[in-house]
Amino acid sequence: MAGGDVAEDEPKTIGEDGLFKLLSWNSAAIPKIFGLPDIVGEPIQQEFQHPLQRRVDRLYRLADGSLLNIEHQSRLDDREALARRMIDYRNMIRARFPSVQLRQVVAYTGREPLDRGRIGRLLNYEDSDEHGRGVSFRAELRDFRATPVDAFKRSGRVDDLILGLMAAGGDNSDYIEAVVGRIRSFQGENRRSAIEKFIAVCATMPDVTAAAKVGDLRMWIEEVKDSPFIREIVEIAGKERIEEAMKAAAARGVEIGKSEGVEIGKAEGVEIGKAEGVRLGLARSVVHYAVKHKLDLPGPAEEVARLLAAGAAERLLYDMIGDLERMSDFGEFIMSHGAAVPRPQ
């Protein structure tokens, strides 16, 4: 390949801009963040072949009949180039829809700069001669990571709730637990899709606060590891970051967590204290992994989990959770971590 050109058949990753474009496909919150009417229907797909092939990030029809072009950006280091590209899109879209009002906005999802106040709320571009003749362009810009999480809560859609994890206040423990609980309630393709999106957002966050709240994160990743979307995320965010999230989840109780352990006790009418609730949650995660991988258990799964919780120290259970990928035989795995194999009577 000469001159650094990319071969026609060389695989390309979607990049962070493309990632958030996919994540926000079903978002109802984005127009509200800009104070705009609701979206109507699915995105309008537009490819333009002249002067070169381009696809707008998103083009929607709004409830008032206008069109909304959303540009997803993870970098703002060249605002002039971004503005020129949006001007190109504007001309191309208006050529297709000449009599329809067009709105253009920028949804910024990047992590830099640390001083979010420098991002601003407007993309401005001026290219005029000494006589004032030329081009003037403005587009509203919103920083997702500085947007109050309430904007995402109000939508009620799980896609928006997941996007809200990276918003201001999205690291609140109650909010994270609510999002995780919503995902756990899903089945089938809805569950798989939600897990993919959750992992994607966590992988692009400055820290792994949300990921550390998911006790079965390793199992979640196992569920969707063959997804092309997840492979793209690993390319974008890096394997180390995904591993960091999984380790954080294990280190922090693998979060069926203390308060959730108490709720388990209440739901079953049993007075298990916080420590017992944590151990039961951890033990259930270990047993669930064995069941998922069709390993032999010494008795019914729930009974084995209860006996394991009663007989193994909390620290041992944490270690097991962090080491689940090595489990090929349930009994050997339990003994290798210094605990007795739970055998129901």
Q: Strand, helix or coil at 177?
A: helix
Asked if the structure places residue 227 within a domain, the reply is: yes
Are 78 and 38 part of one and the same domain?
yes
- Indicate the residue among 251, 279, 314 that finishes a domain: 251
Are 30 and 54 part of one and the same domain?
yes
What average pLDDT score do residues 297-302 get? 90
Examine the pLDDT at 63 and tell me if it is beyond 90. yes
Burial of 85-114, coded b for 16+ CB within 10 Å and e otherwise, reads ebbebbebbeeebeeeeebbbbbbbbeeee
pLDDT more than 70, % of the chain: 72
Q: What is the model's pTM?
A: 0.64
Residue 207 pLDDT: 58
What average pLDDT score do residues 230-257 get? 57
**Residue 217: pLDDT band by 50, 70, 90 thresholds?**
low
What average pLDDT score do residues 10-31 get? 72
Q: Residue 165 carries which DSSP code?
A: G
Asked if the structure places residue 344 within a domain, the reply is: no
Asked if the structure places residue 178 within a domain, the reply is: yes
Q: How many domains does the chain have?
A: 3
CB 285 within 8 A of CB 245: no
Q: Output the six-digit token pair for 224.
A: 């969707």
Examine the pLDDT at 77 and tell me if it is beyond 70. yes
Average pLDDT, the chain: 77
Asked if the structure places residue 92 within a domain, the reply is: yes
Instruction: Please write the tens of the pLDDT for every residue from 310-333.
Output: 888 877 887 787 677 788 999 999
How far is it, in rounded angstroms, from Cα 20 to Cα 203? 12
Of 161, 163, 153, 229, the closest CA to residue 201 belongs to 163
Asked if the structure places residue 171 within a domain, the reply is: yes
Angle of helix 239-251 relative to helix 314-322, nearest 10 degrees, comes to 160
Asked if the structure places residue 71 within a domain, the reply is: yes
Are 85 and 27 part of one and the same domain?
yes
Examine the pLDDT at 283 and tell me if it is beyond 50. yes
Q: Output the six-digit token pair for 208.
A: 């792994």
- Indicate the residue among 85, 120, 146 that finishes a domain: 146
Are 326 and 265 part of one and the same domain?
yes
Examine the pLDDT at 235 and tell me if it is beyond 60. yes
Examine the pLDDT at 101 and tell me if it is beyond 90. yes
Asked if the structure places residue 237 within a domain, the reply is: yes
Are 245 and 296 part of one and the same domain?
no
Are 107 and 155 part of one and the same domain?
no
Are 137 and 60 part of one and the same domain?
yes
Of 77, 116, 111, the closest CA to residue 237 belongs to 111
Q: Residue 145 carries which DSSP code?
A: G
Q: Between 46 and 194, whose confidence is greater?
A: 194
Are 199 and 223 part of one and the same domain?
yes
What average pLDDT score do residues 268-283 get? 56
Cis geometry, peptide bond prior to residue 37 (ω within 30 degrees of 0)? no
Are 142 and 174 part of one and the same domain?
no
Domain that holds residue 58: 11-146
- Indicate the residue among 146, 174, 207 that finishes a domain: 146
Are 109 and 95 part of one and the same domain?
yes
Lowest mean pLDDT among 299-303, 313-317, 334-338: 313-317
Are 230 and 118 part of one and the same domain?
no
Are 15 and 134 part of one and the same domain?
yes
Instruction: Please write the tens of the pLDDT for every residue from 103-145.
Output: 999 999 887 776 777 889 999 988 877 776 788 899 999 998 8
Instruction: Please write the tens of the pLDDT for every residue from 135-181.
Output: 889 999 999 888 999 989 888 889 999 999 888 888 887 888 888 88
Examine the pLDDT at 301 and tell me if it is beyond 70. yes
Secondary structure element (H or E) that encloses residue 120, with its range: none
Asked if the structure places residue 345 within a domain, the reply is: no
